[in-house]
Structure 1
Amino acid sequence: MKNSAAWIFKNEVFVKLVVIVISGILAGVALNMFLIPANVFSSGLPGIAQLVSGAFDKFLGMQFETGILIFVLNIPIFLLSWLKLGKSATVYSFLAVVAMSLSTMIIPVVTVTQDTLLNSLVGGVIVGISAALCLKFGFTTGGLDIVALVIAKTTGRSVASLMFLQNLVIIAVAGLMYDWQTAIYTILSIYCLSVVVDKLHTSSQKVTAFIISSKSQEVVDKLKVNIPRGMTLLDAKGAFSNSSSTVIMTVVSRYELYDLEKYVYEIDEKAFVNIVPTQRVLGQYWNEDQQRAYLKELHS
C-alpha cells in the first residue's frame, strides 16, 4: 500500500502489539544494561521503582526486582485509567507496562561499559525511544503519562509542572541516598529521555492540525463524533492542480493526535495532514465534561 499511515491504522492491533514488545525490550535493555549497573535513575515510575529497589538493598539488605515494583506501582494508576480513559487506552498501556516489567525481570543486569556518563546518555536515549514509540501509537508506558492524559482530558490543562516535580524528587532522593554525582548523571539521563521523546513524538501539549482532503465533509463528520474539538474550514486552491479544496483546521492535545490521524485516514487514505506545534490556546478549548455534553446533545 502506497500510504503507510493508512496501512498502520488498518492493522492497528497487530502494529500496536509489535510496538509494545519492542518498547518493552528497549526499556529492559536501558534499565538493566545501562542505568541500573551505573546507579543512574530513569524518570517517572521506573525511576521511582529503581529508588525503592535501591533503598531495600541499601538499608535492609533485601533484593527487590525493579520489574515487579514497576508493575505494582502502576496498579492504582491503571484503575484510574480504566475509570477515566476507557478500556482500549488502558489495555494497551497495561500491556506496555507488563512488557517492560517482564523484560526487566528476564534481561540480566550486566555492565556494558564502566563509563557512567556513557551509561547515562545511552540509557536515557533508549528509554526515550521506548516511551516515544508508545506515545506515537496512541498509548503510554503507564505512570504519570496516564495521570497527564486524565488531567488533559478532564481539564484541558497540561501537567508539565507535576512531571517536573516528580523528576526533581527522583533526582533529590538519588543525591541523598547515594551522592550528588549520581544526581547529576540522573539529570543527564532524564534530559536525554525528554529530548528523544520531543523529537520522535512532540514536545507540545497541544498541536494544530491542517487537513486537506477531497472528502473534507466526511472527515469533519467523523471527527465531530469521535474527537469533539472546534474545527475551522478554510477555502484553498492547489498551486499546481488549480483545483479548489477545503482545509480543516483543528487544535487537539498530543494524546488525541494518534486518533485524529487514524480517523482521517479511515475516510481518506490520500489526505494531506500537516501537524504544527501550538504554544498557547486562548478561548474555548473543551474539557471532557464539555465534550461529553456536546456528544449527548448531538445524539439526542
Structure 2
Amino acid sequence: MVWLQIKKIVVVIIGAFLTAVGMNLFLIPANVYSSGFTGIAQLLSKVLTDYTPITLSMGLLLLLLNIPVAILGWMKVGKSFTIYSFISVVLSSLFLEIIPIKQLSHDILLNAVFGGVIIAVGVGITLKWGASTGGLDIIAMVLSRMKDKPIGPYMFLLNSLIILTAGFLYGWEKALYTMVFLYASTRVIDMIHTRHAKLTAFIITKKADELKRAIHQKLVRGITMIPGKGAFSNETRDIMMIVITRYELFDLERIIKDVDPKAFTNIIQTTGVYGFFRKD
C-alpha cells in the first residue's frame, strides 16, 4: 500500500511537471490558451498584467482558484481523491513558477499541438492513477455524487467563455488556435484514460463476497449480483455488475487486483443511467 502511494505521488509529480512544461514552453509564449481552471488562470494573469497595475502570476492564480474547489471536494467527494488532486495543483503552480517561459517555436500551430499533447499526457496519467489536476475534475466528482449531472456542458461553457474572451481581447486567430489545443489535448486524454463519464464493470469471480466488502469500503456504489456458469468448465461463478464514474476506475482496478487477481473483468461504456444511481 505504501509503495502504491509512492508511485501515485510520483505520477502526480510527473503530471504536474508536464502541465507546466506545456504551458511555459508552448502555450504561454504563443498566447494560446489552455482549458478549464488552468486556462482561466492563464487568461486572468494576462488580463491583469495588460489592463491593470496588478500583476499576479499564473501559478499563484491557479492555486487560489483551486482552494475553494478543494474545500468543496474534501466535504463532498472524499479525502484521498481531493488530497492527491490538490497536491497536483500545488506542484503545477510551483513548476509554473520555476520553469522559465521560453519560446521554442514561432509556429503557433506547433505550439498549440505540442502544448496540447504534453499537457494531455500529464492530465491523462494523473487521471489513470486515481487523482486529478483539480478544478473541473473535482467539480465533476461533486456533480456526479450530488445530482448525477454530466460535466460536459459545464466544461463546454467554461471553455467557450475562455475562447470568446481571448478572441475578443487578443484576436480571433489566437482563439482558433486554442480550439486546436483543445482538440489535441482531448484526443490524447481519451487515449490514455477514458472519454466516458460513466463506465459499467462486469466482474466474473469466485470471491464475490470478499470483493463486495472491499468495493463497498472504498466506493459508494451499488452492486448487482448475477449467477453465472462457465461454458467449458461448467463451474459456477458470480457476475458482479457495477456502474462507476471514470474517476473511480483506478480504485476499482486496484481492489480487483488485490482481492482476486484471477477475476475476469469487462469495462464497457455507459451512455446513460436511469433509475437509482447513488450520489451521496
**CA offset at residue 175 of structure 1?**
0.1
1:145 corresponds to 2:141: no
1:106-149: CA deviations, max 9, x gaps? 11111111110011011111111111112111121111111111
Task: Report the secondary structure of 1:48's partner residue.
Answer: helix
Aligned residue number for residue 191 of structure 2: 199
Aligned residues: 280
Distance of 2:228 and 2:163 partners within structure 1:
51
Q: TM-score, normalised to structure 1's length?
A: 0.88
Match of 1:268 in 2: 260
Greater shift in the superposed pair: 162-171 or 58-67: 58-67
1:255 pairs with 240, 243, 247, which one?
247
Query: Are residue 48 (structure 1) and residue 43 (structure 2) matched?
Result: no
Looking at structure 1, the residues matched to 243 and 136 of structure 2 have their Cα atoms a distance apart, in angstroms, of 23
Cα pair 2:84 2:131 within 8 Å, conserved: yes
Compute the displacement of 1:205 (Å). Answer: 1.2
- Return the match for 1:158 from 150, 159, 168: 150
Q: Which residue of 1 aligns with 2:4?
A: 12
Q: Aligned partners of 1:282, 1:135: CA distance in 2, in Å? A: 26
The AA in structure 1 aligned to 2:267 is: I
Secondary structure of the residue aligned to 2:214 is helix
1:70 corresponds to which of 52, 62, 75: 62
More deviation in 114-123 or 132-141? 132-141
Distance 1:16 1:167 in 2: 29
Secondary structure of the structure 2 residue equivalent to 1:229: coil
After TM superposition, the structure 1 stretch with the greater mean CA deviation from structure 2, 23-32 or 243-252, is: 243-252
SS of structure 1 residue aligned to 2:224: strand
Tell me, what secondary structure is at the counterpart of 2:247?
coil
Q: Work out whether 1:117 is the aligned partner of 2:105.
A: no
Structure 1, residues 55-79: CA drift from partner, whole Å, max 9, x if none? 1222236543211111111111111
Identity %: 42
Moved more, 17-26 or 62-71: 62-71
In structure 1, distance between residues paired with 2:216 and 2:63: 36
Of 233-242 and 63-72, the range deviating more from structure 2: 233-242
Given the alignment of the two structures, is residue 227 of structure 1 paired with residue 251 of structure 2, yes or no?
no
Task: Establish whether residue 133 from structure 1 lines up as the match of residue 129 from structure 2.
Answer: no
- Structure 1 alignment gaps of length 5 or more: 1-8, 289-300
* Separation in 2, partners of 1:111, 1:137: 31
Instruction: Encode CA deviations 1:51-109: one digit per residue, 9 max, x unaligned.
Output: 11111222236543211111111111111112222322221111100111111111111
Amino acid aligned to 1:57: T
Q: Paired residue for 2:92, among 96, 100, 104?
A: 100
